[in-house]
A and B are shown apart, each in its own frame.
Chain A
């Protein structure tokens, strides 16, 4: 479904700050894949997501989504097929607008017209959708009044409204407290299952990455160094994963976060 071939990204080329963030990345994501992406800070996870979503152009290589070459498509055009949730809960919703207006905006992708589409039926539908996250009685409240966890749950709901072909979850629970992180993560699992979504999720929690999803990718210094799926993934353990890392890279696994959260 998603085909990334020979993608390389160099930041600040030709300057002293030149940095090779991704080098010759090849990755094929199949329909229905739920991929956990792990790797230490600066390993290229976020850059990879930025390349897929189109935040920055690639330096070289091609990206195809559903057979269509999207390498040079602007971010807003890719957004028709890609739903992305950021670590920062404020990025996915507009703070100075009500919950219902935010949801209305997310109901269909693309440029809006001079219609009043927030009808009674639609409000009733939103109300139903908001019940699981407990916001059904606050539809006219500004999103800015919600907590980070509530905002992230709302973002998740809004992103799934348009049934994206691919979901990019960029450590979307990392900024939340443990209880809210769990709520949002459970919602994420529920939506992925219910709508049969294809998803890529960056996480720092190795145990979670092992337990969840059908595929695990490990990144380091701009390379995908490990890509495990199916039965092989089920057999993984955290020590085995760290061992694997040592063997491949011939160096110590140096992510404190990675170790702390196992």
Chain B
């Protein structure tokens, strides 16, 4: 059972990495996620069911996600509306698109076809099935993480980071922020869709409603991760996002398993996730205020001490 939480958490963490790009690195509040995660699941499922194979399914799911991101970023760039609204528009439209991809069915199952979670136990046959799935997912996630770390250390990756911090810097360096947003939001949703593609294979079906509330869950995971340690190094930032994703899923598991003791049912999870995000934000704010207070006190001490010296 414990391996199941880790597999679920790892798959989820790819989506968290995607949300990390839009929310934290680009500072672009993107709600496309709720739609694109289901798009990824739907595309991968239809590819696998249709006999195109797992690799093609994953690649096409990623590309479909990139396309979703490009739509959101284009709406934002061309119509000059806030990213939030652009994301909601794309997300809403994607619901219909996802149903189309699934052949106008609400869900399509992946029974009697080869999926990653059938290949992993074969590839790692020296392990029990559950652990083989865990190892396979872990390798997959680590590969995604390493590629992402490398990408954000390239000149282009740095430029994306700078855009989130300060758009004027990008303009001053002769880069078009609109192009960078296309790249960033595209990649973000590519990862989110990839996460959906894995999830569909793990749970054995794709569902048009798969993405509901995913953004908030991803945000909760990012915030949990940020409590673990603070750093400005991309490798540690992605690591803590992954850890946050796993911890979030573990918390949800505990809620499912022991929640009944205090009368919590899975129906309450969305409410609890929202409250978790609010608590995280409150704690982060209190911390920031406390450190500002500390700095003020130190500065005061310094000037007071300075005065005493001059008096003496």
Binding site for B on A (CB under 8 A): 74-77, 79-80, 83-84, 86, 90-98, 101-102, 104-106, 109-118, 142, 159
Contacts and interface: CB of A to CB of B under 8 A. Distances in A.
B311 interface: no
A93 B165 CA distance: 9
Contact of B164 (A96, A98, A113, A142): A96
29 contacts: A76-B170, A76-B175, A76-B176, A76-B177, A79-B174, A83-B172, A91-B166, A91-B169, A92-B168, A92-B169, A94-B161, A94-B162, A94-B169, A95-B165, A96-B232, A97-B162, A101-B158, A101-B162, A104-B158, A105-B159, A110-B173, A111-B176, A112-B155, A113-B156, A114-B156, A116-B153, A117-B155, A142-B232, A159-B172
Contacts of B170: 76
Nearest to B168: A91
Which residue among A83, A92, A97, A159 has the maximum number of chain B CB atoms within 10 Å of its CB?
A97
A76 B154 contact: no
Contacts of A93: 166, 169
Given A96-B165, A111-B179, A79 B158 contact: no
B154 A116 contact: yes
A105 B166 contact: no
Contacts of B165: 94-97
Contacts of A102: 162, 169
Contacts of A112: 154-156, 158-159, 175
B275 interface: no
B171 interface: yes
B166 A90 contact: yes
B140 interface: no
B258 interface: no
Ranked 6 nearest A-B pairs via Cβ: A112-B155, A109-B174, A94-B165, A94-B162, A79-B174, A112-B156
Contact of B161 (A75, A76, A86, A97): A97
Interface in B140-158: 151, 153-156, 158
Interface of A is mostly: loop
Interface of B: 151, 153-156, 158-159, 161-162, 164-166, 168-177, 179, 232
Contacts of B162: 94, 97, 101-102, 105
A60 to B, nearest CB: 23
A90 to B, nearest CB: 7
A74 B156 contact: no
B154 A105 contact: no
Given A113-B156, A114-B154, A117-B155, A79 B161 contact: no
Contacts of A106: 173
Given A95-B166, A96-B232, A142-B232, A109 B158 contact: no
Interface of B is mostly: helix
Contacts of A115: 154-155
A93 B169 CA distance: 6
A173 to B, nearest CB: 18
A113 B155 contact: yes
A115 B158 CA distance: 10
Contacts of B171: 75-76, 79
A98 B177 CA distance: 20
Contact of A77 (B161, B164, B174): B174
A248 B59 CA distance: 70
Contacts of B179: 111
Given A111-B159, A116-B155, 15 more contacts: A76-B177, A92-B168, A92-B172, A93-B166, A94-B166, A96-B164, A101-B158, A104-B158, A105-B173, A109-B174, A112-B156, A112-B158, A113-B154, A113-B155, A142-B232
Nearest to A55: B171
A114 B148 CA distance: 12
A83 B169 CA distance: 11
A114 B171 CA distance: 19
B155 A105 contact: yes
A113 B153 CA distance: 11
Contacts of A118: 153
Contacts of A95: 165-166
B232 A98 contact: yes
B228 to A, nearest CB: 18
A110 B169 contact: no
Contacts of A76: 170-171, 174-177
B147 to A, nearest CB: 11
A12 to B, nearest CB: 17
Contacts of A117: 155
Contacts of A101: 158, 161-162
Contacts of B151: 114
Contacts of B154: 112-116
